[in-house]
Chains A and B, each alone.
Chain A
């Protein structure tokens, strides 16, 4: 296999344009973690099943272990490090789903957590916050990621908690 084929790509990561020269075979997950130093995105299986590596590409959740870094050249990527927003006073305001995870004890070891946060955040952002959240919607947002610690009960609770906060905030 030829490994010397590299390409310089530009990705807007968490709102900041970043340039990296990567081998064409580099997974997006590895590029984020090892080339850009954003280690908040975790790699749990490297075959697209567990969802720990989920990031948003142009706002949609994708499994970054199933994409090559070169595929996102010119696109916007949001990782867990970009989920909170600046409060314009030098600090950060957590996303409601981050607050909800802490409030509801929706994480234990925390390894799968970034993937859940990104998937759920995208799911909640896309829906009408004033509409009543159904269990079906919750199952849909939670059902594609693996967690070995929590048994999911508190993750589901956190989705409700976050949706309620977003409803109040809307």
Chain B
């Protein structure tokens, strides 16, 4: 059947507008809107002594200036703690505009509204804010030392102490044949979508309603937040995510101050108001992720099997905790990866620093967890002189152990029970794909060319598709067009195509007839958001269920008309027919017309549904009890718990021992996200994720100085990979469907980024024979490491030196 498009590499439907410049991103909306700009703190920690706006008042085109004093009601209260948790004992959030104190460079203090952005920024430049500077805390180590406090009333800087354990880890370590312990660091990076955030608001004074466009990953929740903070009835607020130029996590946080202040100004001024974030604002006023100090103790037996694992992490959460402790929880629970860990204890102390807030960035704590676990595997292999792949294999959960319960609690409050997987299968494919067993030959060949070659690998399990729910609505119109909507948003993942494939396949209609709308509260008001690789799993299944509901109703109506049993009918290419009886058919669009009994005909098709069109059953009402007019269905998918995708990456690096430049010469990915809706889109997600993984391993970091100034807050200085930095990627797939959802899907969005840092660190360590205990690593840092006589050699390096193989 031509309509069975599920699983096919269908070309993306959204591209038609995006390649001709007809996309509609936030800043493309509201041509005549007033522009907002912000005065942001130049200090990392200070009390605000005075705000003098006098000089700005002369700027021609100035419309309004707002400070904290202008906020009232709920808007004057701190921003919400979006995800409260009992272990988040000292949550703090900022205010929409600073209330007397600033806690990071970039915190908004004054909003200016003017006739255009240039003028708004002119006015911002003239506003004088006086500060009393306070001591600054930067980095996990300074936060932990607690010489100074970010928030006076939290002297130890600890926001949360997240703790999970599955047994007596001290006893298990004591009983282990071997133990090792080490400390390592991972630095900050950030989502850095090509389009920053942005908000446009329009107030209709005549019916007291507000329409807000925002570049968000959670339009329904932004709507609820705006209604609550601005004291509006929910039915008077609509929020729409237009085309969104990338998210990667940063746009799941909400409400951003601007998402409240721009609507506030639009209402106050009775004019459209818009703010589009510039690149520097995005660096200093949005969100970062990833910095942790990890202290790890592991017990293991003679074969390299882990017997106990004790992990203590200090996690830099920045100045505030609006997103709770989701990232710490994800690190703590996803750290265990595909392995059997008999006894596990993890403590993550989430600490305040005077830096930009830390909220999920693609991977959301998983890259750090993977880095901790996989580097532990490497160290065990090194200590026992075993192959790193062999050690991993011996620790893997076996295919007959599913469902596998780790006895941990995940970020959705549900147990970490792996639903399905084949981890030895991943490992076998990865070994073959990267040529693991031929690495020594490659090493010798590279050495002959004067290069140091190393190989590394990392495996991961990713909890995807967490609840609580998503919904889908499918409606067949009398024209034959099939309208599909879900409240979940889109930032480039191709949902218009993937969801249309699902509906076309479920309903048996041409994909050309299907129109998908996402992230528009006018169309679907109930949703959670796009994060945690959940869109396909959650909305995909909800939409499939909605399509099945439509199909059931269509067949019921058609069965009446065709005088056949519903189970004898099928839908193909939009035509309902009796199976095996060509010619006995009725178009789906006609069923849609008949599904809505009419009094008034407005076109030829509608005449078929009017009250004198045909004989009816006078003993029954036109709409049966329990039925509803229209060929449409709304349904929800709410999973019992997350589904767990998995994968394995390997990298081969070549290092030039004169420049210490690190060149990734091969990057291999084996990937299992269950059933795949569109393999082209999934591979695209993997490619993009790997590029971010490479960036995080070798190039990207947030270079804060001791004063809390972000020294590289531009694309000139923050080294986001260009094409020249991203290696070619070879991909192999494994498909282990999830038993938890109707379509067998697992999430695919974040996977590509997760093991990059761990695999590349392993490869560099293998190449140079020195412990790599801080990532990312630059050529300069690598040079400093190898020339430092105190840097730790690996045992493998010592053994190679004995054989003369070490450079």
Say yes or no for B268: interface residue by CB 8 A criterion. no
Measured between beta carbons, the chain A residues less than 8 angstroms from B729 are 151, 153
Q: How far is the CB of B679 from chain A (nearest CB, A)?
A: 10
Within the complex, which residue of A102, A117, A148 is in contact with B192, where a contact is CB–CB below 8 Å?
A: A148
Are B492 and A109 touching (Cβ within 8 A)?
A: yes
Give residues of chain B (160-191) contacting chain A, Cβ–Cβ below 8 Å. Answer: 191
Are A108 and B715 touching (Cβ within 8 A)?
A: no
Say yes or no for B787: interface residue by CB 8 A criterion. no
Are A113 and B25 touching (Cβ within 8 A)?
A: no
Within the complex, which residue of A4, A109, A142, A155 is in contact with B244, where a contact is CB–CB below 8 Å?
A: A109
Say yes or no for B18: interface residue by CB 8 A criterion. yes
Write out, one digit per residue, whether chain A residues 132-152 have a CB within 8 A of any chain B CB (1) or not (0). Answer: 000000010011111111111
Within the complex, which residue of B19, B118, B681, B722 is in contact with A102, where a contact is CB–CB below 8 Å?
A: B19
Say yes or no for A42: interface residue by CB 8 A criterion. yes
Q: How far is the CB of A156 from chain B (nearest CB, A)?
A: 7
| Chain A interface bracket (under 10, 10 to 19, 20 to 34, 35 or more) | 35 or more
Give residues of chain B (1-52) contacting chain A, Cβ–Cβ below 8 Å. Answer: 11-12, 14-16, 18-25, 27-28, 31
Count A-B contacts at CB 8 Å. 171
Say yes or no for A52: interface residue by CB 8 A criterion. yes
Are B19 and A111 touching (Cβ within 8 A)?
A: no
Interface of A is mostly: loop
Say yes or no for A45: interface residue by CB 8 A criterion. yes
Which one, A5-13, A68-76, A80-88, A123-131, is touching chain B?
Answer: A80-88
Are B716 and A50 touching (Cβ within 8 A)?
A: no
Measured between beta carbons, the chain A residues less than 8 angstroms from B581 are none
Are A151 and B690 touching (Cβ within 8 A)?
A: yes
- Complex: how many Å from CA A34 to CA B14? 24
Tell me the nearest residue of chain A to B11, going by C-beta. Answer: A102
Are B194 and A47 touching (Cβ within 8 A)?
A: no
Within the complex, which residue of A39, A94, A143 is in contact with B722, where a contact is CB–CB below 8 Å?
A: A143
Q: How far is the CB of B435 from chain A (nearest CB, A)?
A: 20
A81 with B21: in contact, given A23-B118, A46-B279, A139-B723 (CB under 8 Å)? yes
Q: Which of B23, B491, B690, B692 gathers the greatest number of chain A CB atoms within 10 Å?
A: B23
Within the complex, which residue of A40, A94, A103, A110 is in contact with B245, where a contact is CB–CB below 8 Å?
A: A110
Are B194 and A34 touching (Cβ within 8 A)?
A: no
Are A98 and B715 touching (Cβ within 8 A)?
A: no
Are A147 and B194 touching (Cβ within 8 A)?
A: yes
Write out, one digit per residue, whether chain B residues 720-743 have a CB within 8 A of any chain A CB (1) or not (0). Answer: 101110101100000000000000
Within the complex, which residue of A102, A113, A153 is in contact with B16, where a contact is CB–CB below 8 Å?
A: A102
Measured between beta carbons, the chain B residues less than 8 angstroms from A42 are 25, 194-195, 245
Say yes or no for A64: interface residue by CB 8 A criterion. no
Within the complex, which residue of A4, A46, A110 is in contact with B18, where a contact is CB–CB below 8 Å?
A: A110
A34 with B31: in contact, given A111-B195, A146-B722 (CB under 8 Å)? yes
Are A113 and B19 touching (Cβ within 8 A)?
A: yes
Say yes or no for B409: interface residue by CB 8 A criterion. no
Are A151 and B720 touching (Cβ within 8 A)?
A: no
Q: Chain B: residues with CB nearer than 8 A to chain A?
A: 11-12, 14-16, 18-25, 27-28, 31, 60-61, 116, 118-119, 122, 191-195, 243-246, 248, 278-279, 491-494, 680-681, 683-684, 687-692, 714-716, 720, 722-724, 726, 728-729, 752
Interchain Cβ contacts under 8 Å between A and B, 18 examples: A3-B119, A33-B27, A38-B21, A39-B28, A80-B19, A80-B21, A83-B20, A109-B245, A111-B23, A111-B194, A111-B492, A143-B722, A143-B724, A148-B191, A148-B193, A148-B248, A151-B689, A153-B729
